[in-house]
Structure 1
């Protein structure tokens, strides 16, 4: 079960990153700002937890779940807009799966660590 939670968190995290990269560069590039600026704003925060997520560190999963909430909020906001509804729904789903996977992994890994310590 712990591997499924970590897999969900990692898959949703990488899926969100891929979604943002593909949507921003190929499907619907922004018209107001350059693509590079939009990518820095949207993708750069996702790079901070990359190493810890790949290595399965519990602490990284814990604080990155808070970062997932920012993308969840952005996704809900975009889903409310008529022109970016699909992008917002996909971002909301990926961010929610990332959030849920991180919380479940932290809970199960802490339980496993307590069990090993006793």
Structure 2
């Protein structure tokens, strides 16, 4: 697979995670009726967005560790929550795993292209 595929996979999964976070905490299953301040965690996800969009290796490298916090949150909420919130947590886990995989393969493919 090409570097471009992994690049676009990372972009799509990160944007999907941002949208999921906003939808989850504002409308779909917020902790409090009317929305939750947990929606602000979507702002944190904006930190790596520009670097990922531009294909910066350094951003990909640190975001691979950064995304693990969202993975941990998804696992805990999938275990502790019920109903729609539990399902959304499962989607969060899936998106973080996808993002992590795309990031790892993007960096690996980019470095192997430089070496050839």
- Do they fold alike, i.e. is TM over 0.5? yes
Structure 2 residue 45 is the aligned partner of structure 1 residue 46: yes
Distance 1:48 1:35 in 2: 22
Length-normalised TM-score, structure 2: 0.89
Q: Distance in 1 between matches of 2:49 and 2:6?
A: 16
Task: State the aligned residue count.
Answer: 113
Instruction: Specify every segment of 5 or more residues in structure 2 that has no aligned partner in the other structure, as ranges.
Output: none
TM-score (norm 1): 0.88
Matched ranges for 1:60-75 at <5 A = 60-75=59-74
RMSD (Å), alpha carbons: 1.6
> Within 1, Cα distance between the matches of 2:72 and 2:30?
21
- State the 4+ residue runs in structure 1 displaced beyond 6 angstroms: none
Matched, 1:19 2:20: yes
Is the 8 Å Cα contact of residues 27 and 35 (structure 2) preserved in structure 1?
A: no
Decide whether the 8 Å contact of 2:25 with 2:36 is kept in 1. no
| 1:1-118 matched pairs, under 5 angstroms | 1-31=2-32, 35=35, 37-40=37-40, 42-83=41-82, 84-115=85-116
**Distance in 1 separating the partners of 2:43 and 2:31:** 17
TM-superposed deviation, 1:36: 5.9
Query: Mind listing any 5+ residue stretches in structure 1 that lack a counterpart?
Result: none
